[in-house]
Amino acid sequence: GNHTYHVEYHPVPLAQDGILLSYQGRKVLVKITGEKEFTYPRYADYQDMAADKFRWLFFEDKEQFYLAEEALPERDGFAYVSINFMRAARPRYLAFAGVAGLSLHNWYSNHRFCGHCGRPMEHSKTERMVHCDHCHTMIYPRICPAVIVAVRNGDKLLVSKYAGREYKNIALLAGFAEVGETIEETVHREVREEVGIKVKNLQFYKSQPWCFTDTLLFGFFCDLDGSDALQVDHGELATAGWIDRKDIPEDVEQASLTMEMMTLFKKGVY
């Protein structure tokens, strides 16, 4: 969509039309208005709550978003739904805000006290950072870099299914970067560890924030180098195999970099 998510840290006081993001675990407070459509509460819906119970998060276009520091009660049609609802929810820009908000909610919750000396953390007034006045520890939001890898073998693409996860569709190989390696080295290592093959001709496609897991994904296309015999790590993957271009399923959700890259291969663009 043509909506702009702003990361600049410019807190503004909570007004009537401020959008409230409230979480219970991995659930978010919404009102379902259609099959996949929803809205969030605004401060006008929860005016009985003191304004200082909400922390400014970010803005999209002209809309200001605020985090409820404690989970708001369900009322007036607003109820908690799994964050996974946001994978296919409309409007997309609001769905994105809910997932980005969860990432920040978890970060704020996990850094109420200093991990070094245990004292309460203070919030910076000028940037998104918490700090300890006693030992001067400063903590910024952490983002985990990870790769999504589309391995090509002529007209075939390497796809997998994860072991023991709720997401059951086919996916591309993926994995997190380790300390001290380049993102290209991550591609080679993950492919080797998960399916035991080598790749070449790495081509960076694009990146995508995937806030469900505090991740920044780096999408790469590459080609098989040598034998196509797979040795699947079943601790990580349930299955992995080569699939023909024409057999790749349609991208219904249009939310993930994985499906976007698989669709490009299906259409012969990559």
pLDDT, tens digit, 9 for 90 and up, residues 28-53: 999 999 989 999 999 999 999 999 99
Summarize the confidence of residues 68-84 as an average pLDDT. Answer: 96
For the chain, where do the domains classified as CATH 3.90.79.10 start and end?
144-266
CATH code of 144-266, in short, is 3.90.79.10
pLDDT, position 161: 83
Quick: pLDDT tens for 205-252: 999 999 888 999 999 999 999 999 999 998 888 889 999 999 999 988
How many Å apart are CA 71 and CA 26, to the nearest integer?
12
CA atoms of 99 and 105, how far apart (whole Å)? 10
Are 17 and 44 within 8 A, CB to CB? yes
Radius of gyration over alpha carbons of the chain, in Å?
A: 21
5-110 architecture in CATH? Alpha-Beta Complex (3.90)
Query: Which secondary-structure segment (H or E) carries 209?
Result: strand 199-210
Question: CA-CA distance, 21 to 55, in Å (whole number)?
Answer: 10
pTM for the model stands at 0.88
